[in-house]
Amino acid sequence: MQKPKVAVIGTGGTISSLAESSIEVLDYGAGGPLHADQLIARFPEVHEVADVHPVRFRALPSFNIFFPEWKDLLLLMDDLVQSHPDLAGIVITHGTGSLEETAYFLSLTTKVSVPIVLVGAQRPASALSSDAGMNLVNAIRVAASPDARGMGVLVLLNDEIHAAREVTKTSTFRLHAFQSPDFGILGHADGDAVVFYRKPVRRAAPETEFDVRTLEALPRVDILYCYSGSDGTAARAFIAAGAKGIVSAGFAPGFTADADAAVLAQAVHEQGVVVVQASRAGSGRTFKGKRSQDNGFLVADNLSSVKARLLLSLALTVTDDSAEIERIFLTY
């Protein structure tokens, strides 16, 4: 039987890193990172589950991946689907530090309909007990699964399948670092089958209103992390730097301290800066109470501050109307 064709795009990260010793799982990178074809060569077992088409991209630490790389990934995926009409899915290997941001951004902006799965590893490819190989195999299996279609971008680590909107990294070292705190995983990549148990209901690619493929940059949106004693200095700095939007990672269930709130409210009412109230708690919704309404703040629903920042940036590419931005946050 013919195997499904899956493209693997390499962007660097722990999954493609090599250390000087097989028991070195923290301080690595001197011997890598591996490009996609080199990573595939290190784990030839991937050929047992699919016809794998490795694609070199860039080998970068995930904290150096932002809009220029995201835009190029979007264009690359367009080209892959056009040049390979029999392509079953796409896997993107990625560092875990910002994997959730890339996954959510692509899930809001890609225009290809084949499944896209982001995968990383908590231990380098050279480690004695690396999770890189099995994660890669399982990501390819998920990308090749017809059941993965229509779910937006997915994330695969530790045999678990997550929705890009919900997943976050919750631990620095543990193999089970990636969790979806509010609603849990979508399914498993088990040894005998890829199995899904639920589907995301929020709108995701390719049926979205955002198309950034011709943009040179995103509108500037910053994150204000709330803490006891904050005096508005950071808020004023973001506004002075030209922020079009600010996400407040506030005290749960969604409050910004008075000094910061005063600066932000003034920016909303006098300069048209869009402020979205998120929570620093890690899970749960924020709500639009009287305080937020008086300040002119919108709410992030249950999005983390980093994902609210991405959605607000994209919203500002299509509208500056607060009612429309509020609709967008309730839609995606």
Active centre residues (catalytic): 14
C-alpha–C-alpha distance, residues 57 and 74, integer Å? 12
The encoded tokens of residue 56 equal 């070199």
- Buried residues in 41-72 as b, exposed as e (16+ CB within 10 A): ebbeebeeebbbbbbebbbbbbeebeeebbbe
Q: Work out the burial of residue 118: count CB atoms within 10 Å of its CB; fewer than 13 is exposed, 13-18 middle, 19 or more buried.
A: buried
User: Under DSSP, is residue 209 helix (H, G, I), strand (E, B) or coil?
Assistant: coil
Q: What 3-state DSSP class applies to 128?
A: coil
Q: Based on DSSP, count helices (H) and strands (E) in the chain, helices before strands.
A: 9, 14
